[in-house]
Amino acid sequence: MKEMAARIKLLILDVDGVLTDGRITINEKGEEVKSFNVKDGLGLKILMSTGIEVVIITGRKSMVVKHRAKELGIDEVWQGIKDKRMLCKKIIGEKGLKKEEVCCIGDDLPDLAMFMEAGLRIAVADGVEEICEEADFVTKKNGGYTAVREVCEWILNSKGVWPKIGFTEQSGG
């Protein structure tokens, strides 16, 4: 597993249930509210500072996701995606990567499509049974509760670059 993680050049993430705990709150104005864990954010920033690309692919559309991705410096955000497999295939091809250089993190049935294109498939601890069964690795933490940070640290430890010396709090998540 460590060898698989050491090859990763691209991390593809779902949002609801992975970067969040899966709950969607709608306020009295009809505006959507999501909670993101700052530790996940810092983990992603450190991961990206080592040259690993991060792409978000989600089936829902949300301005909140767009704002959070911008805060983290994630440029490639795909929302409202129904066919995650074809999009993954396209992104991987355009980046000239091999399947074994790609890691996907998911939590629910639509993410199985992404798993088909990834060399390393990770499910969050509270993912549905079907996704956990197909995963190469299941996190100890639940989605929205530092599962993404756990994966970032694991990948970078596997590459021998965690913690990244010189990473400042200013550039945190």
- What the chain holds in terms of domains, given with CATH numbers, is 2-21+32-164 (3.40.50.1000)
Helices then strands, counting H and E runs in the chain, come out as: 7, 8
Average pLDDT over residues 66-74: 97
Flag whether pLDDT at 171 surpasses 80.
no
Round to whole Å and give the CA distance between 39 and 90. Answer: 30
Query: Which H or E element spans position 89?
Result: helix 84-94
Predicted confidence at residue 162, as pLDDT, reads 81
The Cβ of residue 162 has, within 10 Å, a number of other Cβ atoms equal to 16
Round to whole Å and give the CA distance between 153 and 2. Answer: 12
Flag whether pLDDT at 135 surpasses 60.
yes
The pLDDT tens digits of the residues spanning 10-50 come to 999 999 999 999 999 999 999 889 999 999 999 999 999 99
Round to whole Å and give the CA distance between 122 and 141. Answer: 12
| Structure token pair of residue 168 | 């400042």
